[in-house]
Structure 1
Amino acid sequence: MNTPRHRSVLLAVAGTALTLSLTACQSDGDSTSKSSAAPAATVASSTASAQPASDKDTSASEGTGSTGSARSTGAKGSTGSTGSAGTSGSTGEQASASAPVCTAGDVTITAATQDGPPYTHIVLTAKNTSRHFCRLTGFPHIQFLESHKQDVPAVAKSKPATPVVLAAGAPAYALVKLSDGGVDEDNEPVSAFSVTLEGDSTVIAVTAPGSDGIAVDPAKALTGYWTPELRNGADDF
């Protein structure tokens, strides 16, 4: 039989049980909310840690760029190549200056008239027919006639300022005066004459230009020095 006291006891027990149950539920809810918040914090931390990595990548790429620019800036090879080109040029000049003296075997000499009649001058051309550089020194030593064994005098003002160095196949020239072109001169016909080079006693026979040869006054004949090209003034005599 349930008495009022017994009912009070039962109600008290039931109330305690309900309180415990609610407390347990609240405790579960707090733990659930805490556990769901944890992944969000982890993601934020990962994002924060990823940011410096991005910064490192940027600085690394910038470092690479600076290295590349340093390489392009440090392209000293082009400057060096310019220097080497200058060296090679000076070496070539030194090699030309030290070239051996041209001999009769190195050149072929031909003669041609200059200007029109009266033909008072001829031009000698010495072409380097060898396969190497050679220096053509001085002037051609010319003898027009067997009766005149003296070499034709040279004109000092025609001497070039620098040595005449001929590459393979290159020519040099010498202007030669035959006479003054006067009718009263003591001219003699010449169909061929001899030329020797300085430093070589070999006689080179040169055919005179024209079908009738040339008229030479031995007293008026003059020769210029060998030059790479004929020059106005220096070669006018």
Structure 2
Amino acid sequence: MSTIRNRTVFLAVTATAVLGLAAIACGSEGSGARASGQEATSSPLAASSAASTRDAGSAEDSGTAGGSAGATPTGSGSGQDAVSGSGSDTGSASGSTPACTTKDVAISAARKDGPPYTHIVLTARNTSGHSCRMNGFPEIQFLEGHRENVPAVAKSKPAAPVVLAAGAPAYALVRLSDGGKDEDTEPVIAFSVTVQGSGAAATVRAPGAEGVAVDSAKWATGYWTPELRNGADDF
């Protein structure tokens, strides 16, 4: 009987201990479940917060990139405008004045100084009604039997293009001979002058009732200039 009682007590104590451990285990599992639940609950919030942060960062990055993209064409456009504006001005300045043709000017000849009349001055007055540019020197042919143009004197070439406003004149000094009439000269009543770059020739009346005497070994012409210049036109 004593043995049976002791066994009963042992079993009761053991059962109590087992129940206690079970309760502890249940409590621990509940805590774990709650902890897991909290993590499960907090994880979506954290993920949502992280997603919001990423979205905000992406929006900022996108905004910055968009701003940069918007600024680049604007700057590029300004640069292009400046360049094209500059190219347009340059083109306008260089192309706004057409070359004079023989038909754009009225050409006349006058004696320079007194006897022995070694030079004449050609005057080309712009009668076109608009500005034009005189190119080079007059292409002069004095004699029917001498088809070569009178050669030009290099030192008379002006430094800048000669642009004539409507009604304005250009001048060219022409040497005829060393002077006088002798066996080396030929009389000329009229002669032809062509403005460089123009195919047509103008017939110019020589000054004086008897015309002028020319020597093909001595003649020369200067370039068109806005005025006759001492030194450069001294030949």
Q: Percent identity?
A: 72
- 1:157 is paired with a residue whose SS is helix
| 1:155 aligned residue (153, 156, 169) | 153
Tell me, yes or no, if the aligned pair for 2:177 and 2:214 is still in contact at 8 Å: yes
Alpha-carbon shift at residue 130 of structure 1 (Å): 1.2
Name which of 153, 162, 165 aligns with 1:164: 162
Q: 2:213 aligns with which of 212, 215, 220?
A: 215
Structure 1 contact 110–126 (Cα < 8 Å) conserved: yes
Matched residue of 1:172: which SS? strand
Cα distance in 1 for partners of 2:223, 2:191 equals 18
Deviation of 1:159 after TM superposition, in Å, equals 0.2
TM score, norm. by length of structure 1: 0.59
Q: CA deviation at 1:217?
A: 0.5
Question: What is the number of equivalent residue pairs in this alignment?
Answer: 146
Distance (whole Å) between structure 1 residues aligned to residue 233 and residue 95 of structure 2: 24
- Supply the distance in 1 between the matched residues of 2:182 and 2:209 (Cα, whole angstroms): 23
Root-mean-square deviation over aligned CA pairs: 1.8
Amino acid at match of 2:193: V
Compute the displacement of 1:116 (Å): 0.1
**Structure 1 residues 111 and 97: alpha-carbon distance in aligned structure 2, compared to 1, 3 A threshold:** farther
1:129 is the counterpart of 2:142 = no
**Structure 1's 113 and 97: CA in aligned 2 closer, same or farther, altered over 3 A?**
farther
Q: Structure 2 unaligned runs (5+)?
A: 1-88
Q: CA deviation at 1:176?
A: 0.1
Q: CA 1:127 to 1:223, structure 2 compared with 1: closer, same or farther past 3 Å?
A: same
**1:1-237 maps to which residues of 2 (within 5 A)?**
95=93, 98-181=96-179, 184=182, 186-237=184-235
- Find the residue that maps to 1:132 and give its secondary structure: coil
- Counterpart Cα distance in 2 of 1:149 and 1:186: 18
Q: What letter matches 1:180 in structure 2?
A: D
What are the ranges of 5 or more consecutive residues in structure 1 without an aligned counterpart?
A: 1-89
Post-superposition CA distance 1:43-101 (Å, at most 9, x none): xxxxxxxxxxxxxxxxxxxxxxxxxxxxxxxxxxxxxxxxxxxxxxx99xx64873000
| Distance in 2 (alpha carbons) for counterparts of 1:166 and 1:194 | 22
